[in-house]
Amino acid sequence: FPVTILGGIGSEQLVCSEVLSNGDLLVGGYSTSSSFGNQTGTGFQLGGGLSDGFLARISPNGNLIWWTMYGGNANDFIYSMKEAGDGSIWVLGGTTGEISTSSNALRSVNSTAPLYDIFVAHFNGDGGFELGTSFTANGWSAVFGTNLS
């Protein structure tokens, strides 16, 4: 069995995984590292908060295809993901701050941090960010599952 090691100088936690329709493995979680070190792939990082969510795509032979991080200025966690029929990826997670991207900023409406807000993000099959949003209820909000039909 192939072994792939992901991570940087901080701590990483794998929270979710899915075998994609072509046999690749998609893994997600969160990291306190400022990057994934010298990993190969087309990785980029958004945010740079205390922790950021990460996604990584690994081939059946254990090669890292790409990785990316998603987050804002505080704590961000990826809890769930699902491949859509077109090969793109929907991601669900939580944040204690503001989720930012290179194209827009999606501000949390939670004024009593460190309570959590929910975010939903969409990535293409190559790991490129496409869209995202965040929303909250009164208090602690979280989502831990995904189902696409």
Q: Is the alpha carbon torsion for 8, 76, 54, 124 positive or negative? A: negative
Report helix, strand or coil for 25.
strand
- 19's tokens: 């075998």
pLDDT, tens digit only, all 149 positions of the chain: 567 777 777 788 889 999 999 999 999 999 887 666 545 444 445 556 788 888 899 999 988 888 888 877 788 889 999 999 999 999 988 888 777 554 544 444 444 545 777 888 889 999 888 877 777 666 556 666 666 55
Token reading at 120: 């939903």
Assessment of whether the complete model's pTM goes beyond 0.85: no
Output DSSP code: residue 118: E
